[in-house]
Homo-oligomer: A and B are copies of this chain.
Amino acid sequence: MFAINPADPAPIWRQIEEGVRRLIALGALSPGAGVPSVRDLAKDLRVNPNTVARAYQRLSESGVLVVKRGEGTYVSDTPSHPKKGERSELLRDASLRYASAAIAAGAELSEAEEALRQAFERVVKEHRRRA
């Protein structure tokens, strides 16, 4: 699926949440497809099942996943693509953090852009490699 980065200050459950969203956006998980069980994913990520459960619960509340208690968890049929408005809000925060880090590191805008393009490529390539 994806990897957890212990060095990332973001909580693990948030990394899992984002990882699932990313897989859906990349098409690795289609609407209706089943996601790994709480225990399986926890074992795969070397993480506590409770942490995975928390991520699944949040994704369920957001309408991204649908939980069938006792049966399993599935990608929602209504992918509920975030509207352009919400997307902009998320991007504004994330880009601000990135810009701040880049400037603090002494980088110019052009360098930050180039790094971003390479990062995009890496994420997509990594996804195709696992497919």
Count identical subunits in the complex.
Answer: 2
Residue A47 interfacial (CB < 8 Å): no
Q: List residues 36-65 of chain A with CB under 8 A from any CB of chain B.
A: none
Complex CA–CA separation, A122 to B103 (angstroms): 12
A130 within 8 A of B: no
Residues of B with C-beta under 8 A to A92: 115, 118-119
Determine whether the beta carbon of A82 is less than 8 Å from that of B105.
yes
Whether B101 lies near A90 (C-beta < 8 A) is yes
Compute how far the CA of A102 lies from the CA of B25 in the bound complex, rounded to whole angstroms.
10
**Are B103 and A91 closer than 8 Å at their CB atoms?**
no
User: Scoring A residues 107 to 126 as 1 if CB is less than 8 Å from chain B, else 0, what string do you get?
Assistant: 10101110111111011100
Once bound together, how far apart are the Cα atoms of A91 and B105, in whole Å? 8
Binding site for B on A (CB under 8 A): 8-11, 14, 18-19, 21-22, 25-26, 81-82, 86-88, 90-92, 94-107, 109, 111-113, 115-120, 122-124
